[in-house]
Amino acid sequence: MSLALIRKALEKRLLSMPSGLTTVPENTSYTPVADTPYQVAYLFPLNPENPTFGDKYYREEGIFRVMLMYPNKKGTGSIQIKAEAIKDYFYRSLTLTEGSVQVIIEKTPSVSSGKVIDDRYSVNVDIKYFCSILKP
């Protein structure tokens, strides 16, 4: 259940960005509109951390990736501006609460170099998070 709440918290934050793009949740269908940018959100959970023995505490960790998909052959200016805006919006130490979990952005997000995917130019923004879990 904690992964679902983590995803929800991160996606809600992304959707609340001013002047946001169309956001495509992971594993949903979407038909891109010609010459219109969009973004795809992915959750990459990592192995949970168990920093203590004998109790019910553990840490969920992972990467929330925002894959920006812009029209190809239009330069890098717009996509870089958007990537930087996402990087700033998910600043290090930001705490998001969803239900019983608090998701904390652990590090300043990273922006990848661009690559061409089909008719799109793509840049990823990777947001490292963690969430402390204490089972009853």
Per-residue pLDDT of the chain (136 residues), as tens digits, is 799 999 999 999 999 998 779 999 999 999 999 999 999 999 999 999 888 777 888 899 999 999 999 999 999 999 999 999 999 999 999 999 999 899 999 999 999 999 999 999 999 999 999 999 887 7
pTM: 0.93
Block residue for tokens 């793009």:
21
- 85-116 burial, b for 16+ CB within 10 Å, e for fewer? ebbebbeeeeebebeebebebbeebebeebee
